[in-house]
Structure 1
Amino acid sequence: MSLSLKQRVLIAEDEPGIADTLQYVLRSDGFEPVWCATAQEALAQFQAAPPAIAILDIGLPDMNGFELFKRLQSMSRASGGPDVPMLFLTARNDEIDRVVGLELGADDYIAKPFSPRELVARVRTILRRSGGSALAGAAATPAPPAAPPAAAAPTPFVLDAERMQIRYYGRLLELSRYEYGLLRLMIQRPGRVFTREELLQLVWDDASDSFDRTVDAHIKTLRAKLREVAPGIEPIRTLRGTGYALNEELPAQAQ
């Protein structure tokens, strides 16, 4: 992909070594990284020119990364433009950070230490899913006249988090605790590939006492329940040797 107007990537990371690696690999892949060592710097850079995507470390010296996420999200919405997608950097064993980040609405997370190439791949996937967000330095172009709205397609999944219920094509699913946790996680991030290890960490109480086959068994029963409602549709994709994802063609609606 040729980027004559490079997509800006805001990096909020206080460790220079990690920041240098991120800048190098992003720049090598055609992006324009903007490094900020503090949350205040990140807020100022974001205000000056919203990036295409932001990468936020949770442990910043002057502000919790979750608080920074919420402030950047508010600034993005106040500007009237699209939400800027964001990705969290977390410590490998901090499960609660990953859960909180996803529940806040982050587009993804990656655990330290991470593969720089994997991070760039995730950045590109997020941008592709979000439509590319903003291009750095690009002047705003008037939008063409809107076409008449098409009839909305039925929403397959409706999530009611307060009641811990999920409806599929209008029918309430009878789910076990872990089936609900698996499906809830996937429909909140359609298209996002979750490894078996991630699903164990994010859904099970004590992942150390569970095994990959536990995830496979619950996915199997979950698929059977979904198939009872819509026999001709397979909403959960298996990526052999990796994990599972919800088909992006099946959007979810939260209540």
Structure 2
Amino acid sequence: MDTSSKILIVDDDRDIRSLLADYLDGHGYSTMMAADGNAMWAALDAHQVDLVVLDLNLPGDDGLTLCRNLRAKSSMPVIMLTARSEPLDRILGLEMGADDYLPKPFEPRELLARIRSVLRRTQSAALASDGEQIQRLKFAGWTLDLTARHLISPDDMVIALSGAEFRMLTIFLDHPNRILNRDQLLNMTHGRDADPFDRSIDIQISRLRQKLREDARSPQIIKTVRNGGYVLSVTVTAEHAT
């Protein structure tokens, strides 16, 4: 995999920023650093960034606010750094659109593995779309634009998706009418196995259902299979680029 990707590290702790930058630079990445939200936006405006490592606890706008605002503008991958003692922070981070999370304290090599996994999924999805020349996937009146990475509703409204939501929906559309359990979905979306308390899959599916205007009590597109997982229960058709 090409490790020349540019990583922006946003953390108000200078020692952590420097340690992570040195470690990632040593593994072939190009890194930039920012101490707060203002510096983050300035870096994003001035440079092409491939992934943001974003600390939750920042002066001024916190990581959750910055992630939500970034997600409204872009599908750029975000890995959130959260406090181990606050599991709610990890849930909120995913709800704000983070692609993955890593609780502090952590080993730099674990962050490196998460970065590689997120970038691999992002790059593989782009290459697959280019290779097959599939531009859009249509299902139940909805359209997923694989180039713009957004949804188009049956009444032609454009609906933004986070990177995690886009990948989750793409996985379902690639496996229509097939039951996928949480372990499979977590491995496909995050490249790791589930633990008994990991709710990230349920959170992402809940967010997808909201964007698909599903009735939470009786969803018709992404259905829950008791003791089984989830299934996309509609027909999917592909629209190729012309």
Q: Which range, TM-score by smaller chain?
A: 0.5 to 0.7
Computed over aligned residues only, the root mean square deviation of the Cα atoms, in angstroms, reads 4.4
Query: Contact 1:53 / 1:133 at 8 angstroms: preserved in 2?
Result: no
- Distance in 2 between residues matched to 1:130 and 1:96, nearest whole Å: 26
Structure 1 residues 146 and 57: CA distance shift in structure 2, 3 A: same
Match in the other structure for 1:164? none
Give the AA of the match of 1:13. D
1:94 counterpart = 2:86? yes
The 3-state SS of whatever aligns with 2:76 is coil
2:195: which partner in 1? Answer: 196
Aligned partner of 2:76: which letter? V
Q: Which residue of 1 aligns with 2:112?
A: 120
Q: List per-residue Cα deviations over 1:162-190 (Å, max 9, x = no partner).
A: xxxxxx9669x9xxxxxxxx84x975884
Any idea what the Cα deviations from partners look like across 1:127-186, whole Å, max 9, x if unmatched?
Answer: 01111799xxxxxxxxx89946687699xxxx9xxxxxxxx9669x9xxxxxxxx84x97
Name the TM-score, length of structure 1 as normaliser: 0.56
| 1:165-223, Cα deviation, whole Å (9 max, x unpaired) | xxx9669x9xxxxxxxx84x9758843224425428998xxxxxxxxxxxxxxxxxx99
| Separation of aligned partners in 1, 2:233 and 2:98 | 16
**Identity across aligned pairs (percent)?**
28
- Equivalent residue, structure 1, for 2:57: 59
**Residues 29, 198 of structure 1: CA spacing in aligned structure 2 closer, same or farther, 3 A cutoff?**
farther
Task: Give the SS at the match of 1:11.
Answer: strand
Distance in 2, matches of 1:93 and 1:252, equals 38
Aligned AA (1:50) = Q
Give the direction of change, closer, same or farther, for the CA distance of 1:118–1:198 in structure 2 (3 Å limit): farther
- CA pair 34-201 structure 1, distance change in 2 beyond 3 A: closer
Residues 187 and 193 in structure 2, CA contact (< 8 A), matched pair in contact too: no
Supply the distance in 1 between the matched residues of 2:64 and 2:10 (Cα, whole angstroms): 12
* Matched AA of 1:107: D
Query: Deviation of residue 50 (structure 1)?
Result: 3.5
Bigger Rg, structure 1 or 2: 1
Q: CA, structure 1 residues 44+189, in 2 after alignment: closer, same or farther (shift >3 Å)? A: farther
2:219 is aligned to none
- Secondary structure of 1:9's match? strand
Give unpaired runs (5+ residues) of structure 1: 77-82, 135-143, 160-167, 174-181, 204-221, 227-234, 236-245
> Is the counterpart of residue 18 in structure 1 residue 45 in structure 2?
no
| Matched residues, number | 176
Q: 1:84 aligns with which of 50, 67, 76?
A: 76
Alignment-mate amino acid for residue 116 of structure 2? R
Name the CA distance, whole Å, in 2 between partners of 1:196 and 1:113.
18
Helix, strand or coil for the counterpart of 1:106? coil
Q: 1:42 aligns with which of 37, 40, 43?
A: 40
Taking a change above 3 Å as real, the CA distance of residues 39 and 84 of structure 1, as seen in their structure-2 partners, is same
CA 1:44/1:195 → structure 2, altered by over 3 Å: closer, same or farther? same
Using the TM superposition, give the Cα deviation of residue 24 of structure 1 relative to its aligned residue in structure 2, in angstroms.
Answer: 1.2
Equivalent residues of 1:95, 1:202 under 8 A apart: no
Does structure 1 residue 111 correspond to structure 2 residue 103?
yes
